[in-house]
Chain A
Amino acid sequence: MPTFVKRILGLVVIVVVLVALNAFMSRDGLFGFGLPYYYAELLNLTGISIILAVSLNLITGFTGQFSIGHAGFMAVGAYSSVFLTVYYSQSAEQWLTGLVGATVAQSLVFLGIVMFGALVAALAGLLVGIPSLRLRGDYLAIVTLGFAEIIRIIILNIDRAGGATGFRGAVPPWEGRLIIPQYANFIWIGGFAVITIVVVYNIVRSDIGRAFVSIREDELAAEAMGINTTRYKVLSFVISSAFAGIAGALFGHFRQFLHTNDFQFIRSIEIIIMIVLGGMGSITGAVLGAIVITILPELLRQLPGNLIHYRLVIYSALLVIIMLTRPQGVMGAREFGIPWLKRAQKRPEGDKPAGEKGVPIAQSQEAQK
């Protein structure tokens, strides 16, 4: 079968699955079977986590830059898109509804809003990236953390975006929508999760991705080989921030409520834990980590009796145990599952492990044996 036929088939399958799942999760259910809202919400949040984890993996797993500010970019995407929805989208939606009907108009408007969130987050990524990516290692980590905190505190001080009381809709002196419409459903969230995976996969397989990996393996050597390391680091930062912005926009239009507490330091840490658990430098690993980390705290709610108080203790103890026993993550740098993702295992011959830094790649070579 020619490749493009395969791709179209794949696309059709994904769309059908998403639409079916979305119907299954909706209030009416699919053929009389529906998922309780609690599980539906969990699935949607998992989708958002997947976007966050896979996009952060581009910076941390593939480019080897340690960023602990991903939640900051998510916040930028969330707040900027919701701000647009609440204050500026109503008239555009009305005008489009007259032109193409309500459903299409709503979708078009939301697509625009999500893209706006991605754009603003990407700009924030650029703003943070250009000056700070001259720094290395730990300094970069702490600067990204600092920027994320500053972003959060700035948002906290914008009265028009709800400030400390949170953002539900237009704040009284200003006019706009009083409630954030729930534009995002599983078709959007799942769809963007798939898009994120495909885009990141393709980037990693491209020459840009090779440059990213070379920076991870040895920044000095990469620079010596003529790779403009600052440019590529900023690029990976901007792409990653854009996806974090998309995740934020979806989160805002799914939850219909934003509060800066959702974007604290701990949120960034959670995203890091996802990719560490799954294995840095593995896209499927990041997906797996996102699923486990989003669902695990909820699963632990089922713990009997007194143990339920220890839910988060068990959660953090697991992280420590994983780092002690399998520091390269469950997947290492391997990929699994869907055949066309599997090709990522076939690394070029010269891709040798690079000593102590090369834990992920060493793992992938073990996998080939």
Chain B
Amino acid sequence: MDTFVQQLINGLNVGAIYALIALGYTMVYGILRLINFAHGDVYMVGAFAGFYIALYAGFAAGASMVTLSVVLLGAMIIAAIVGMIIERFAYRPVRKYSRMTTLIMAIGVSLLIENLFVAQIGATPRAFPDFLGSQSQAPYRLFGNAAISKAQIVIFLVSIALMLVLQWIVYKTKVGTAMRAVSFNLNSAKLMGINTDAIISLTFAIGSALAAAAGVLTAQYNPNIDPLMGILTGLKAFVAAVLGGIGNIPGAVLGGLLIGAAETFVVGYGHHIGIASTYRDAVAFAILILVLLLRPSGLLGSTVQEKV
């Protein structure tokens, strides 16, 4: 039982990170029908933005929630700007072309960001300062023996808070209404007087900010950050978005949590049924394929009838 609770805590924790990134994928896809391959790299940019803010502001490791908040906000703002720049200069010019073109553009931007970072700072991992001191501190105990570290609690709380904020923006504000209108039908939204370019830009900003939050939060739990950290995590987060039903915000959260939990359970229990823990990275894709074959629109997605 203890092991189960422990695996669940770790799994949901990883899952919360996937969910935050998946939200950005799903929002952009909902509006532009574009798989934003560069989104995983924005997550990496967010982590590094946090790292450099801490470095230049002289924030050392130590138990301070204030420091973490400053770094988190700073990283989110920087990533939001990066996201808007990517949208403005890479995606907007090719929006009128076929979807294949935009997809390849996304891949190109992703490669460009990765290679730029590798060229500039090298591929060796950097150690992100541990603001919460959770690596030196004994974890809290839950249900008897299951351990939960301070970083994990913060990851849960911050990601839940951010998801609630997103939910509020999308469903309760005027901007959110405009975003939903644009994702429903871009041209009609334009005819109704919505500045669609601005809304698309804002969507990228919000998605990128969430990815940056995921980057900084992950770094509190696992301090090694490197320029290629976004590739696999980004792919899995995308899988999470598809699993939940792409374009669907609660779906992305559900998908993220499911993938995170499934991965951790394979590592924890897989050897009992002959699955080595090295299969961890294959789990997300295997689940994805099964779900797409049984329910192609994802768990919470609605089927879209293709029009002639």
Contact = CB atoms under 8 A, between A and B. Distances in A.
Interface of A: 60, 66, 131-132, 134-139, 141-143, 145-147, 149-150, 153-154, 156-157, 220-221, 265, 269, 272-273, 276, 280, 309-313, 315-317, 319-320, 323-324, 327, 356-357, 359
Contact of A320 (B108, B118, B282): B108
Contacts of A142: 35, 238-239, 242, 288
Most buried by B among A142, A157, A315: A142
Given A132-B289, A134-B296, A146-B289, 20 more contacts: A139-B242, A141-B103, A143-B288, A146-B239, A146-B286, A147-B289, A149-B281, A149-B285, A150-B282, A150-B285, A153-B279, A153-B282, A157-B278, A220-B306, A273-B107, A273-B108, A316-B108, A316-B111, A316-B112, A327-B98
Contact of B99 (A134, A138, A220, A317): A138
A284 B97 CA distance: 23
A142 B107 CA distance: 13
Contact of B282 (A137, A149, A313): A149
B186 interface: no
B29 to A, nearest CB: 8
Contacts of B239: 142, 146
B115 A312 contact: yes
B160 interface: no
A229 to B, nearest CB: 13
Interface stretch (B53-61, B88-96, B162-170): B88-96
A122 B35 CA distance: 28
Given A138-B33, A312-B118, A269 B99 contact: no
Contacts of A132: 289, 292-293
B280 to A, nearest CB: 9
Given A142-B35, A149-B281, A356-B98, A135 B296 contact: yes
Contacts of B119: 309-313
B237 to A, nearest CB: 12
In the complex, the 5 A-B pairs of residues with the closest C-beta atoms, listed nearest first? A146-B285, A316-B111, A319-B108, A312-B115, A153-B282
Contacts of A273: 104, 107-108
20 contacts: A66-B100, A131-B289, A138-B35, A143-B292, A149-B235, A149-B285, A150-B286, A150-B289, A153-B279, A154-B282, A220-B308, A221-B308, A313-B115, A323-B101, A323-B104, A324-B105, A327-B94, A356-B96, A356-B97, A359-B101
B294 to A, nearest CB: 10
Contacts of A141: 35, 103
Given A154-B282, A280-B100, A319 B111 contact: yes
Contacts of B116: 313
B112 A320 contact: yes
Contact of A131 (B93, B242, B246, B293): B293
Nearest to A360: B98
Contact of B108 (A137, A145, A323, A359): A323
Contacts of A317: 112
B99 A157 contact: no
B253 interface: no
Interface residues of B, number: 46
B292 to A, nearest CB: 6
Contacts of B104: 272-273, 276, 319, 323
Main secondary structure on B side of the interface with A: helix
Given A316-B112, A323-B105, A265 B235 contact: yes
A264 to B, nearest CB: 9
A138 B28 CA distance: 14
Nearest to B296: A135
A146 B308 CA distance: 30
B97 A327 contact: yes
Contacts, number: 122
A147 B284 CA distance: 11
B276 interface: yes
Contacts of B93: 324
A66 B98 CA distance: 12
The A interface is mostly helix, strand or loop, or mixed, namely: helix
Contacts of B151: none
Contacts of A145: 235, 285
Contacts of A309: 119
Contacts of A276: 104
B231 interface: yes
Contacts of A157: 276, 278-279
A243 B308 CA distance: 34
Contacts of A357: 98
B285 A147 contact: yes
Nearest to A156: B278
Nearest to A275: B104
A233 to B, nearest CB: 15
A276 B104 CA distance: 8
Contact of B94 (A66, A139, A323): A323
Given A137-B99, A142-B239, A269 B292 contact: no
A360 B279 CA distance: 41
B254 interface: no
B181 interface: no
Contacts of B282: 149-150, 153-154
B19 interface: no
B109 interface: yes
Contacts of B118: 312
A272 B107 contact: yes
Contacts of B281: 149, 153
Nearest to B306: A220
Contacts of A153: 278-279, 281-282
A146 B288 contact: yes
A136 to B, nearest CB: 8
Contacts of B29: 138
Contacts of A147: 285, 289
Nearest to A322: B108
